[in-house]
Amino acid sequence: MNEMDIIRYIISVGLGLLGLYIIIMNWAILVVWLLHKKSSSTIPFFGGIFLFVAFIIIPNNSYIWLCWVAFFIDRGCIPIFIEGLIIFIQKKIRNKE
């Protein structure tokens, strides 16, 4: 292992931990809203992007093809887009009735 690999591991771990923290907080916001009806703002895209980049820069990563999963586990990426699309469609259907 050379110095560049060590630097890439350090950056990857840092970005991965930051991404996981944001992802956990995005889901915690949903849980708090469901339990207490108190709303907060999520941080869209950043958790997924940080985890995606962290996964890509790991040296000799034979599972790099799984990097896209980060966008599905972060509520601020694909899941919130799908939720918004569903709400939009529901409103369009209600307006037609």
Range of the domain at 10: 3-96
Q: 44 and 78 in contact (C-beta within 8 Å)?
A: no
> φ, ψ for residue 75 (rounded to 5)?
-60, -25
Angstrom distance (rounded) from CA 55 to CA 13: 9
Cα of 93 vs its chain's centroid, Å = 30
Name the pTM for this structure.
0.83
Task: Give the tokens for residue 95.
Answer: 């307006």
Give me the number of domains the chain comprises.
Answer: 1
Quick: pLDDT tens for 12-55.
999 999 999 999 999 998 898 889 988 777 788 999 999 999 99
Q: In the 8-state DSSP scheme, what is residue 97?
A: -
> Amino acid identity, residue 72?
F
